[in-house]
Amino acid sequence: MKRSAVVQEIMKNYEKKRRLAEERRQEKVAAIYHRLPQLEALETKMKKKGISITKALLSEPEKQQLLLQQLEDDLTLLRRQRQDLMNQHGLKEADFEPVWECTYCQDRGVLKDGSHCSCFKQQLINEAYHMSNLAGILEKENFKTFRLDLFSTDKVAGETISQRENMRQILTECEGFAFNFDLPEEKNLLFYGHTGLGKTFMANCIAKSLLDRGHIVIYQTAIKLITLLENHQFGKDSREKDPQTLERLFNCDLLIIDDLGTELTNTFTNSQLFQIINTRQLEGRKTLISTNLPPSTLMERYDDRICSRIFAHYNFVKFYGQDVRWQGTETL
């Protein structure tokens, strides 16, 4: 689902909210009038006064000043009577107004200056979180909870810098990716390295940072992604076909494909994966791939079309060193 489609959906909800608020207001006012018919009579009188004076002004324009003064006097009197009656029955002006969920934008989502209200932004974020498949985990796994000190400062055999230094560079790169996300020249990311080195954690950090800014992020493991595509293509049961979920894989702002290489690869998966990667690339949407496979194995596993896209348009980020206990987040 594109951001614009989500926005449209949210705006429809605002319209619905406003309609409901207006209906409730009418019910509330009707109940007050039912209880106090004299109040309604006063208000009808005030309206009629205005109309009769307008008519009089048209037929006797020379008496304008006098007529307006008369109107003002009459209205002042009627207003006072109305106010007295309201006071007697403990009514306030607010009792005649709609009750808005958001008083800033009166459930329009947009403020008077045309900018989006903060309630709109929050809804967009909530909706994006809901769709991301990451809603629960991101409170624990984000840039703020990421701890460099968990990584060893020992030199890693075959590498020029320590694991911690490497993670520091990765952190900088990932923060940069999130920060520059909207720049078309910012490349996609491919995380590779063994399990337990923080690839998923780092992908989650990026996801949260983007979600909090109202971007649509979708997380899927490669296995789930292929299952979704297979169901769509071959699923006999229409309940297994979920066009919206499928559409989001193509249209979301950031697609995270986790654990690439754990799915079964065949001609079908290769062509489907290519469709997603290539379409997203052509449409300028970013993708983050995470895999346990080293680049040389990726090249053997996936056909040339996929590899050429990945090698041309992705920054390769290597995770190495010792397994940190990513599962026991209380140690982070």
The answer to whether residues 6 and 124 touch, using CB atoms and an 8 Å cutoff, is yes
Which residue, 14 or 201, has its beta carbon nearer to Zn ion? 14
DSSP-assigned beta bridge partners for residue 316: 190
Is the Cα torsion angle 45, 50, 56, 59 positive or negative in sign?
negative
Which residue, 105 or 138, has its beta carbon nearer to Zn ion? 105
Give the helix, strand, coil percentages of the chain, each rounded to 5: 60, 10, 30
The answer to whether residues 253 and 215 touch, using CB atoms and an 8 Å cutoff, is yes
Which residue, 102 or 332, has its beta carbon nearer to Zn ion? 102
The answer to whether residues 76 and 83 touch, using CB atoms and an 8 Å cutoff, is no
CB of 103 to Zn ion, least distance (A): 8
Which runs of consecutive H residues, i.e. helices, occur in 36-102? 37-59, 64-88
What number of other Cβ atoms are within 10 A of residue 76's Cβ?
Answer: 10
CB of 1 to Zn ion, least distance (A): 23
Size of the site for Zn ion (CB under 5 A): 5
Type of residue found at 132: S
Which residue, 7 or 150, has its beta carbon nearer to Zn ion? 7
Cα(196)–Cα(283) distance, rounded to whole angstroms? 33
Assigned token pair, 291: 């895999």
Cα(126)–Cα(211) distance, rounded to whole angstroms? 9
CB of 10 to Zn ion, least distance (A): 11
CB of 131 to Zn ion, least distance (A): 22
Assigned token pair, 36: 């106090």
CB of 104 to Zn ion, least distance (A): 5
CB of 24 to Zn ion, least distance (A): 18
Site string for Zn ion, 98-127 (x = CB under 5 A): ----x-xx-----------x-x--------
Contacts of 328 (CB under 8 A, 6+ apart): none
CB of 5 to Zn ion, least distance (A): 21
Question: Does 298 help bind Zn ion (rule: CB under 5 A)?
Answer: no
Which residue, 18 or 164, has its beta carbon nearer to Zn ion? 18
The answer to whether residues 306 and 205 touch, using CB atoms and an 8 Å cutoff, is no
Which residue, 32 or 111, has its beta carbon nearer to Zn ion? 111
CB of 219 to Zn ion, least distance (A): 29
Which residue, 105 or 128, has its beta carbon nearer to Zn ion? 105
Which residue, 39 or 119, has its beta carbon nearer to Zn ion? 119
Cα(222)–Cα(263) distance, rounded to whole angstroms? 6
Interface with Zn ion (CB under 5 A)? 102, 104-105, 117, 119
